[in-house]
Each structure stands twice: as structure tokens, then as C-alpha cells.
Amino acid sequence: MKLEIKLTEYARKCGCGAKLSSAKLAEVLGKLPKMYDENLLVGTETSDDAGVYKLNDQLAIIQTVDFFTPIVDDPYTFGMIAATNALSDVYAMGGDPVTALNIVCFPNKLDLSVLGEILKGGIEKVKEAGAIIVGGHTIEDDEPKYGLAVTGIISPDKILKNYGAKPGEVLILTKPLGIGIVSTALKNKAATDEDREKVTKSMITLNKYSAEIIRKYNISACTDVTGFGLMGHSYEMAGSSDVTIELSKDKIPYIDSAKEYSEKEFLPGGMFNNMEYLKGKYEFIDVPKYLSNIVFDPQTSGGLLFSCSEEDSEKILAELNELEIKSSIIGKVIEKQEKLIVLK
């Protein structure tokens, strides 16, 4: 059922672009006491996509939570996008989602049918993932927000982490960039229906399908590209792996119209937060301005970014490119340099 409502008009910032900046987050988290448990396999130390806790030698649980404000106007589509985004962290860790809890903030001034459509959209994607919604929590809020707390499972020896990338390996990205920029143009009524269809298709595509392919291979490091943009998530991978990531400016995939809207300065606020956090920590060599915006653009429900051997990369890419959304080799891992990220 299509409801005549524009959800983005109720949000100051949209999707993953509404994240607290990396700098502010680091300032707060750095002052918190450390917690230790011998069964905690992945915690907060490496800014990974989810926590992993070992139950026994054969089984560990993956826990993650993600919610945000609307990035599209249609409630049902918003529900699908938010659920797809939340489920992605489990796939980035190499696991399978099992259960989910709804997280809802909802304004009194909106009709409850809007909430019903949001939740139905979420259910569709959770079912597609092979998981089940077991409950949730709601509060009143001036801005609508929706997402999931997701629990997944994995064998303790199969975990994919955002560190471990090795010099000589290549980097593959499974979705194009530009979601935040094109969405900003859409919110300002400057983009086309075709643009809306392209970004929506990307955002509602589960990373389940690319994850099922890459887990068959020896993947050294993996993360998903969301609110901190390609640069932010690459920086986390490089820093925790003690390497430098060298990105190729001619190989960065992006939604075609993102270049035009970048040049016209339809730029999300989260992009500037991402730039500020990494100031002085990267090197750009002859990078056009539009592309520098795109690589810092906050992605909502972005693709997987992973490192693997050059030998395996061709086989992996061949399988990935049988999927509807094409993947790209975007760079390589080199020995640690003065700057952790180089784009040239």
C-alpha cells in the first residue's frame, strides 16, 4: 500500500548520514572503562561491525544494532532499507542472522498506518535474510526512526574481521558509492525518478548474496561501507591492520548521477564530518573534487569492502558479477606508509 507522505520532511539528517561523527564518538568511547571476557572474540577495540561472543568451541553469536531516520519518503521502502542496513553487519562478520528486534521512534502527529508500513518493509527483508523478528521497543519522538537489533551465529573459526589485510592483497567493493549525495539531491527535489530507483535498488539489496560468495574464499579483512564513507571504513581497516590502503581513483564505482550532484554541491552534512575526522591522515594525488566528495559520502546500506589475494580476486569477482549489482576491484594493500589511505 502506497501512502502519500514524505517521510524525509520529518528528518533533519537522513539515513546513516545522521550518525554521530567519528571524532565525537572516539572522544566519548575513549573515556569509558574497558571490559574484558575471555569469550568475547570481537569487541569495541577495533571499531568492527558487530560484537562476537563465543558460546562454545563450535558456536558464537554476533550482535549488532542499527537504526536511523528516513532516507526515502515511502514508509514501506524505508522499512526495507533500514532492515537491510542493520542485517549487513552480521554478513560483514561472516555470519548468518537468526533473530531481530524492532527499534522504533515515532511521532504522534503521524498516522499509525505509516508505522505499520515501515514494520512490514522490515519484515520483508528479515524474512529474505532467513531470520525472524521476535519483538522490539517503541518510543515517541519528533523524528521517525527505525532499525533492528540483530543476533547472528557463526563458527568461532570463521569470523571475518575488519583487520588482517596484508600487503600484496587487493580490495573489492560490492556496491557503488554516492548514496548520500544522490539522496540529498532527491530530498532537494533536484534528482530524477531514475536516480531514486537506482539508489533504492542498491539500499534494499541484502549483502547476504555477496557474503555467501566471499565466505568460500580466504578473506583477510572485511567490513561494510556505511555512514563513515569509503574513506572512513578503509581507514579503520588500514589502521587496525597496520598497513596502508592504496585506492585507484579510476576504479571507484559510483552511481552515475552522483558526479553531477556532487559538482552541484548536493552534499550531506555527514560527508563534512567524515572529512574533518580524517584531516591530515590521507593523501590525494590529482583527485577531482567531485570524487573526493564521493569517497567521503556517507553510505546507507552500502556494500561489503574486503581484502583478498590477487589470485583469488579474479575468481571472486567473476562470481560476484553474476549478481545484479556489480562489484569492483578498487585498490590494493601496501606496506604501511606515512598516510594510511592514498587515493591516486
HSE-CB of 328 using CA atoms within 13 angstroms: 15
Q: Which strand (E) or helix (H) includes residue 236?
A: helix 229-241
3-state secondary structure of 291: helix
Q: Where are the beta strands (DSSP E) in the chain?
A: 40-42, 51-54, 60-68, 96-106, 132-140, 145-154, 170-173, 219-224, 244-247, 282-284, 304-308, 328-334, 341-343
Of 14, 16, 222, 308, catalytic? 16
Q: Which of 204, 202, 215 is nearest to 92 (CA)?
A: 215
Q: Which of 202, 164, 208 is nearest to 15 (CA)?
A: 202
Catalytic (active site) residue 16: yes
Residue 183 bridge partners (DSSP): none
CA torsion through residues 256, 261, 264, 268, sign? negative
Which of left, alpha, beta for 152 (phi over 0: left; psi -120 to 50: alpha)? beta
Residues annotated as catalytic are 16
